[in-house]
Amino acid sequence: MRILHVAGARPNYMKVAPLMRALAARDGVEQFLVDTGQHYDHALSEIFRDELALPEPYARLGVGSGTHAEQTADVMRRLEPVIVDVRPDWVVVPGDVNSTLAAALTAVKLGVPVAHVEAGLRSGDRAMPEEINRIVVDRIADLLLTPSPDADENLRAEGVDDDRIHRVGNVMIDSLVALLPRAQQRYPALRELHDLDGPFVLVTLHRPTNVDEPESFQEIGSALEALAEHVDVVFPMHPRTRARSGAALRASPRLRILEPLGYLDFLALETHASVVLTDSGGVQEETTWLGVPCLTVRTTTERPITVTEGTNALVAADTALLVAGVTAALARGSTAARTPELWDGHAAERIASVLLER
The active-site residue, picked from 68, 166, 206, 238, is: 206
Looking from the CA of 66 toward its CB, the CA atoms found within 13 Å total: 15
Who contacts 101 (Cβ-Cβ below 8 Å, separation ≥6)?
Answer: 72, 132, 133, 136, 137
DSSP 167-178: E---HHHHHHHH
How many Å apart are CA 257 and CA 235, to the nearest integer? 5
- In the sheet with 275-278, reading across from the earlier edge strand, the strands are 255-258, 232-236, 200-204, 275-278, 294-296, 312-314
Q: Specify which residues 90 forms β-bridges with.
A: 3
How many Å apart are CA 241 and CA 51, to the nearest integer? 24
Does residue 206 have an active-site annotation? Answer: yes
Burial 232-266 (b: 16+ CB within 10 A, else e): bbbbbbbeebeeebeebbeeeebbbbbebbbbbbb
Alpha-carbon torsion, ordered 97, 101, 103, 109, to 10 deg: 180
By annotation, the residues acting in catalysis are 206
